[in-house]
Amino acid sequence: MARIELWNGDICDLEVDAIVSPAATSLWMSTGVAGEIKRAGGDVIEFAAVRQGPARLGDAIVTPAGRLAARVVIHAVSLERDRRTSGPAIDAAARSAIHRAAELGLTNIAFPALGTGIGGFPLDEAARITVAAVREELAEPTSVEHVVFALRGAAAYEAFARALTETEPVPSRSLLEPRSTVDPA
């Protein structure tokens, strides 16, 4: 079973196979988390992304990670051209990111809070959508064994902690009910 954890800090500092970058359909990395990733990892990341664009909303594309400790950057296209997003776009982009990681045989991946910065999407709702999508994808056969939600600040950390609690898998009903025994007498 895959392990999911929360980490309060800069996603660029993580030594994982892949970090996820929120992306607009144009794939330019000028602001927000994407801008931080570009500054830390170098222009090579953005150049490689833009050459693959424009991308469809909900898709994910893979680029080298430049100077980052990660092996690759997965650009999760969760923002429209106007840099706004929606629940379905966040859901599709998170799922696409997990699929790309699995296609490459990667075992660990880090996600930021997609769509909550310049995308303007409510943090609690984005957390629920992202965590639910990731949990559902991890329930299927995949190479991904470890997901880190790399978050900045107490509000984001708490929103994702609540989402993890709310979406925690519940054992099947048969495991919760006492087994009946038949008295042979």
pTM, rounded to two decimals? 0.89
Residue 20: which of 63, 80, 84 has the closest Cα? Answer: 63
Peptide bond into 171 cis (omega under 30): no
Give CA angle at 94 (2, 160), nearest 5°: 70
**Domain ranges for the chain:** 3-169
| CATH homologous superfamily for the domain 3-169 | Leucine Aminopeptidase, subunit E, domain 1 (3.40.220.10)
Distance CA 97, CA 130 (A): 11
Q: What is the pLDDT along the chain (185 residues), one digit of tens a residue?
A: 789 999 999 999 999 999 999 999 999 998 899 999 999 999 999 999 999 999 999 999 999 999 999 999 999 999 987 778 999 999 999 999 999 999 999 999 999 999 998 888 999 999 999 999 999 999 999 999 999 999 999 999 999 999 999 987 755 444 454 444 444 44
* pLDDT value, residue 110: 98
